[in-house]
């Protein structure tokens, strides 16, 4: 028998006295019902708003009522605790609503054009009154641009991370690390403008008889600029997790440092690095602004990333969204659904891979 | 987090052979003055240190890759300036104070004032809406939710961060615009006497819609960063607060929030950087207007990035230069915001590591 339940004669120390009193759940529910009822009567009765306002006012009244009910039973501090908890919970519900709405809209509007034609045709010769037309050229463009960007940014990013973890000491390494972090925040449109002024306006005329030319390769350059800091950061974190004794064991066997890095450190950290790369790829696949500025977009299929305008999925969504044709919104939503599916599959695969990673944080 | 500098130092501790020469003190050990000779003191069996080896090459390669980041940042500034200057010289108005944007005329007149104002206003709205909600979710995930719920919910928040901005823009324009319009009309009817909610309409494609869509987009980044900060609160501090009889909220207020404050500030600034640079979502949700106007609910609003996306198609040479000039301003603003945020994080990290 616990001391809390034992009755000591003469001493007033029953459970009621030593445990603080709790607000009964029934009271809690009653406050809620009363709050929403009052809100509904006031708001709908006077006609100053619809049910959304009633819910908002009801939630507010519930918080106030809960505070007063709890402060009478439990005291002010506990009441404040309760109110803050209720506020935090409602903020979570509030944040889930837009996400749910986005997902629902994507699926409900996206399935309208989700057919074989959409994935096998381009927008070439598709007029405003033509209900068909698809995103084949955009998918090709996205895959090529992101693929080339990955090929460029992964070696550079992994090498940069190796420098930061294995070789970098002193001020210079600190500066590089700082600016890698700063670079993650560079807006994508600025990266697009950079490639526009550097590649499209200055370099591409050399190969094209003095005329500036949009190309898918320019888009992959811009995407590589955006992917680079993300890859450096995630790889750096993974390399730091590789246990020091592994390296020391390798050094003790007389293996030079570069070989240790390539044969011991990198393979150990590989799953983590792949996760970071996949997240960066997912990010890059969704970028619209740089592609708009340097690849230009196109209606026809273009397999050559170096020759002329190319489309990408995100840009396709943006252009169809701005199109006046009554069939354009359906195409935009289906392309958006495709894009989100691509990005989410990559992200979820990356996260699952991260979970299987043996190097735990 | 992988913030264990001591571990990476240990990683090379057993490998004096590759320690950079400049890292060694003047009177370092008994190392020979000439590296062609085997070092004294039992190192005779080691291979000779050659001047050019794969090691040197690999080190140089990785150093070059690391330096590439600095090169890119400098190159961004250089190339943007080089393309912006001719357009700025052709400008017939003050770039910083002019409201209008007519860079394609024969007498180009353009200025960034209205655009910069719209950028800042939409970002501020986004932060005002997003930060309290994001901090609540972060606290919920770190201190309220049971683990079974916190893990999937944190996963969902991360997924929200991965959704491309064009999708949010499309959703904002096709779906979210109607409720915001209804809300705007309601605000205008009952609170029209406040200048923020005044005006005659039409409502809907307003800076409020853009700001709210932005808020949804910066929510995940602020949430995940501040959640990480809150989770790092020393358990001792929390337990001490609870042992003194604090309720859960008092524990959060006295132990978690003060500890996390610099991190939260940095997270908010990173969110601000994201909001300032957001392009497509605003290009789809705002209706273009080049004026400085505090009215939140009337059609209008603009931002530097959205203007670049909208005006790029019909820009001539000067127009392109003008857009690049505005992009340069955006670059500088985001660079300053990001550097401030990172500086806060770095100072905090040094503090924490030295205390540990």
pLDDT at position A223 = 95
Chain B residues lying within 8 Å of A51, measured CB to CB: none
CA distance B124 to B117: 11
- B58–A98: do the CB atoms touch at under 8 Å? no
In a domain, B16, yes or no: no
What CA–CA distances, in Å, run from A315 to A146, B214, B344?
13, 19, 36
pLDDT score, position A204: 87
pLDDT digits (tens, 9 = 90+) for A8-34: 555 555 555 566 677 788 888 888 888
Residue-level pLDDT at A18: 61
State the pLDDT at residue B99. Answer: 86
State the residue range of the domain holding B235. 101-355
Give the least confident one: A87-91, A96-100, A152-156, B347-351: B347-351
Binned at pLDDT 50, 70 and 90, residue A189 comes out as very high
Instruction: Report pLDDT for B149.
Output: 87
Determine the pLDDT at residue A17. 59
Q: Say if the Cβ atoms of B63 and A167 lie within 8 Å.
A: yes
Task: Domain A119-355: state its class.
Answer: mainly alpha
User: Is B263's Cβ below 8 Å from some Cβ in A?
Assistant: no
Same domain, residue pair B247 and B141: yes
How far does B81 lie from chain A, in Å, by closest CA? 9
Pair B139, B58 in one domain: no
Q: What is the mean pLDDT of chain A?
A: 87
- Where is the domain boundary, B71, B90, B109? B90
Q: What is the CA radius of gyration of chain A?
A: 30
Mean pLDDT of all residues in A317-344: 90
Query: Across residues A101-128, what is the average pLDDT?
Result: 88
The pLDDT, as a whole number, for residue B139 is 93
Q: What is the rounded average pLDDT of the residues A207-218?
A: 87
| Nearest Cα to Cα of residue A105 among A342, A345, A344, A329 | A329
Question: E strands along A140-240, which residues?
Answer: none
Mean per-residue pLDDT, B137-144: 92
Name the residue facing A257 among B55, B67, B323 (closest C-beta). Answer: B55
What percentage of chain A exceeds 70 in pLDDT? 93
Contact A187/B176, CB-based, under 8 Å? Answer: no
- Give the DSSP per-residue string, B200-261: ---BSSBHHHHHHHHHHHHHHHHHHHHHHHHHTS-HHHHHHHHHTT--HHHHIIIIIHHHHH
> Is B165's CB within 8 Å of A286's CB?
yes
> Cα B232 to chain center, whole Å?
21
Residue A344, helix vs strand vs coil: helix
B319 in reach of chain A (CB within 8 A): no
Q: Which of B69, B90, B111 is the last residue of a domain?
A: B90
Contacts of B134 in chain A (CB under 8 A): 95
- In this structure, the number of other CB atoms found within 10 A of the CB of residue B44 comes to 9
> Would residue B179 count as lying in a domain?
yes
Of the CA atoms within 13 Å of residue A68, those in its CB half-sphere come to 8
Instruction: Name the residue of chain A whose CA is nearest to B137's CA.
Output: A92
Query: Which residue in A103, A163, A260 has the most chain B C-beta atoms within 10 A of its own C-beta, making it the best mutation to test that interface?
Result: A163
pLDDT above 90 (res B9): no
Q: Which of the residue ranges A219-223, A247-251, B80-84, B294-298 would you say has the lowest mean pLDDT? A: B294-298
Which chain B residues have a beta carbon less than 8 Å from that of A96?
A: 156
Does B298 lie in the same domain as B153?
yes
Residues B151 and B272 in one domain: yes
Nearest C-alpha neighbor of B282 from the set B125, B112, B128? B125
Q: Which of B55, B167, B232, B286 is the best substitution to test chain A (most A C-beta atoms within 10 A)?
A: B167
Q: Is pLDDT at B38 greater than 60 in this prediction?
A: no
Return mean pLDDT, chain B.
83
* Domain chopping of chain A, boundaries: 15-112, 119-355
Question: Cβ of B342 and A182 within 8 Å?
Answer: yes
Per-residue confidence (pLDDT) for residue A46, from 0 to 100 = 80
Q: How confident is the model at residue B98 (pLDDT cuts 50, 70, 90)?
A: confident
Q: Which two tokens stand for residue A224?
A: 């590589």
- Distance CA(A141)–CA(A312), nearest Å, equals 5
Residue % of chain B over a pLDDT of 70:
84
Given this model, what pLDDT does residue B8 score?
42
Residues 22-41 of B with CB under 8 A from A: 23
Q: What is the structure's pLDDT at B12?
A: 42
Q: Is residue B5 in some structural domain? A: no
Q: Is the pLDDT of residue B2 over 60?
A: no
| Cβ neighbours of A228 in B, within 8 Å | 68-69, 72
Claim to verify: residue B41 and residue B148 sit in the same structural domain: no
Provide mean pLDDT across the span A222-248: 92
Which chain B residues have a beta carbon less than 8 Å from that of A159? 61-62, 64-66
- Asked whether residue B180 is domain-assigned, the answer is yes
- Same domain, residue pair B43 and B170: no
Task: Indicate if B45 and B130 belong to the same structural domain.
Answer: no
Judge if B106 and B74 occupy the same domain: no
Q: How close A318 comes to chain B (CA, Å)?
A: 7
A219-236 mean pLDDT = 93
B330–chain A Cβ distance below 8 A for any pair: yes
CA B132 to chain centre: 18
The pTM is what?
A: 0.83
Kindly state the average pLDDT of the residues B168-188.
90
**Res B36 pLDDT > 80:** no
Q: Could you tell me which chain B residue has the CA closest to the CA of A178?
A: B342
B125 and B271 fall within a common domain: yes
pLDDT-derived band at B28 (thresholds 50, 70, 90) equals very low
Q: Comparing A117-121, A231-235, A323-327, B351-355, which segment has the lowest mean pLDDT? A: B351-355
Among the listed residues B121, B145, B98, the one whose alpha carbon sits nearest the alpha carbon of residue B298 = B121
Q: Say if residue B198 is in the same domain as residue B320.
A: yes
pLDDT confidence of residue A24: 80
The answer to the question of residue B11 being in a domain is no
pLDDT value of residue A3: 55
Q: How many domains does chain B have?
A: 2
B264 in any annotated domain: yes
Task: Tell me the C-alpha to C-alpha distance, in Å, between residue A264 and each of A155, A234, A247, B63.
Answer: 17, 18, 7, 20
Q: Which residues in chain A have their CB less than 8 angstroms from residue B312's CB?
A: 292-293
Is B330 close to A333, i.e. CB distance below 8 A? no
Does B201 lie in the same domain as B150?
Answer: yes
pLDDT band at B290 (very low <50, low <70, confident <90, very high): confident
Does residue B8 lie in a domain region?
no
Contacts A–B by Cβ distance under 8 A: 300
Contact B162 A286 (CB under 8 A): yes
Q: ipTM for the complex?
A: 0.86
pLDDT category of residue B300 using cuts at 50, 70 and 90? confident
| Residue B21 pLDDT > 80 | no
Mean pLDDT, residues A334-351: 90
The more confident residue out of A243 and A52 is: A243
Query: Could you tell me what percent of chain B has a pLDDT over 90?
Result: 35
Average pLDDT over residues B219-226: 90
Whether B42 is in a domain gets the answer yes
**CB-CB under 8 Å, A77 with B247:** yes
What's B184's domain CATH number? 1.10.3720.10
> B112 and B199 share a domain?
yes
Which chain A positions have a beta carbon within 8 Å of B16's beta carbon?
Answer: none
């Amino acid at each position: 028998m616990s001391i809390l339940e034992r009755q000591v004669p003469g001493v007033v120390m029953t459970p009621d006295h030593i445990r603080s009193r709790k607000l009964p759940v029934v009271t809690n529910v009653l406050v809620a019902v009363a709050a929403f009822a009052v809100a509904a009567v006031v708001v709908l009765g006077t006609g100053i708003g619809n049910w959304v306002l009633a819910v908002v006012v009801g939630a507010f009244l519930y918080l106030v009522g809960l505070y007063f009910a709890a402060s009478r039973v439990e005291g002010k501090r506990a009441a404040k605790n309760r109110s803050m908890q209720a506020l935090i919970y409602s903020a979570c519900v509030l944040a889930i609503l837009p996400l749910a709405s986005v997902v629902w809209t994507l699926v409900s509007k996206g399935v309208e054009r989700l057919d074989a034609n959409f994935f096998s045709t381009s927008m070439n010769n598709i007029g405003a009154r033509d209900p068909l037309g698809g995103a084949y050229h955009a998918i090709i463009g996205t895959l090529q641009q992101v693929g080339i960007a990955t090929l460029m940014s992964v070696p550079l990013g992994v090498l940069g991370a190796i420098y930061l973890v294995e070789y970098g000491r002193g001020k210079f390494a600190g500066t590089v690390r700082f600016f890698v972090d700063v670079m993650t925040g560079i807006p994508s449109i600025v990266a697009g403008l950079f490639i526009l002024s550097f590649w499209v306006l200055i370099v591409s005329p050399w190969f094209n008889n003095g005329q500036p030319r949009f190309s898918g390769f320019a888009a992959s350059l811009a995407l590589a600029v955006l992917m680079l800091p993300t890859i450096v950061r995630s790889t750096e974190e993974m390399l730091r997790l590789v246990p020091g004794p592994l390296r020391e064991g390798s050094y003790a066997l007389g293996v030079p440092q570069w070989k240790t890095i390539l044969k011991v450190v990198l393979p150990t950290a590989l799953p983590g690095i792949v996760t970071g790369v996949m997240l960066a790829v997912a990010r890059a696949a969704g970028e619209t602004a740089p592609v708009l500025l340097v690849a230009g977009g196109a209606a026809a299929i273009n397999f050559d990333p170096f020759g002329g305008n190319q489309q990408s999925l995100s840009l396709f969504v943006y252009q169809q969204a701005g199109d006046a044709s009554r069939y354009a919104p359906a195409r935009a939503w289906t392309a958006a659904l495709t894009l989100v599916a691509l990005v989410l599959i990559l992200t979820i695969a990356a996260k699952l891979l991260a979970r299987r990673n043996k190097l735990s944080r | 987090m992988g913030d264990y500098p001591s571990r990476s130092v240990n990683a090379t501790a057993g490998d004096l052979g590759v320690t950079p020469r400049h890292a060694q003190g003047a009177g370092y050990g008994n190392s020979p003055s000439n590296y062609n000779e085997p070092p004294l003191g039992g190192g005779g069996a080691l291979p000779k240190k050659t001047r050019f080896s794969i090691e040197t090459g690999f080190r140089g390669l990785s150093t070059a890759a690391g330096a590439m980041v600095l090169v890119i940042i400098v190159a961004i500034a250089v190339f943007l300036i080089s393309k912006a200057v001719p357009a700025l010289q052709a400008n017939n108005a003050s770039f910083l104070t002019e409201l209008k944007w007519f860079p394609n005329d024969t007498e180009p007149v353009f200025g960034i004032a209205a655009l910069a104002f719209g950028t800042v206003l939409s970002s501020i709205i986004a932060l005002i809406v997003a930060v309290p909600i994001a901090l609540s979710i972060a606290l919920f995930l770190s201190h309220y939710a049971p683990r079974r719920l916190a893990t999937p919910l944190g996963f969902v928040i991360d997924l929200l961060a991965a959704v491309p901005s064009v999708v949010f823009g499309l959703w904002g324009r096709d779906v979210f615009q109607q409720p915001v319009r209804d809300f705007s009309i309601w605000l205008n009817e009952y609170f029209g006497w406040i200048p923020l909610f005044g005006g005659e309409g039409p409502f809907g494609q307003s800076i409020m819609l853009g700001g709210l869509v932005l808020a949804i987009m910066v929510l995940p980044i602020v949430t995940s960063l501040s959640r990480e900060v809150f989770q790092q609160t020393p358990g001792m501090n929390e337990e001490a607060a609870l042992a003194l009889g604090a309720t859960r909220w008092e524990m959060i207020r006295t132990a978690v929030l003060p500890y996390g404050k610099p991190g939260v500030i940095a997270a908010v600034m990173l969110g601000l950087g994201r909001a300032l640079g957001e392009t497509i979502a605003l290009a789809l949700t705002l209706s273009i207007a080049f004026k400085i106007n505090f009215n939140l609910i009337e059609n209008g609003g603009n931002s530097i990035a959205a203007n670049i996306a909208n005006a790029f198609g019909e820009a001539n040479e000067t127009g392109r230069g003008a857009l690049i000039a505005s992009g340069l301003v955006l670059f500088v603003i985001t660079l300053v915001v990001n550097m401030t945020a990172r500086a806060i994080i770095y100072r905090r990290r040094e503090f924490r590591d030295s205390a540990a």
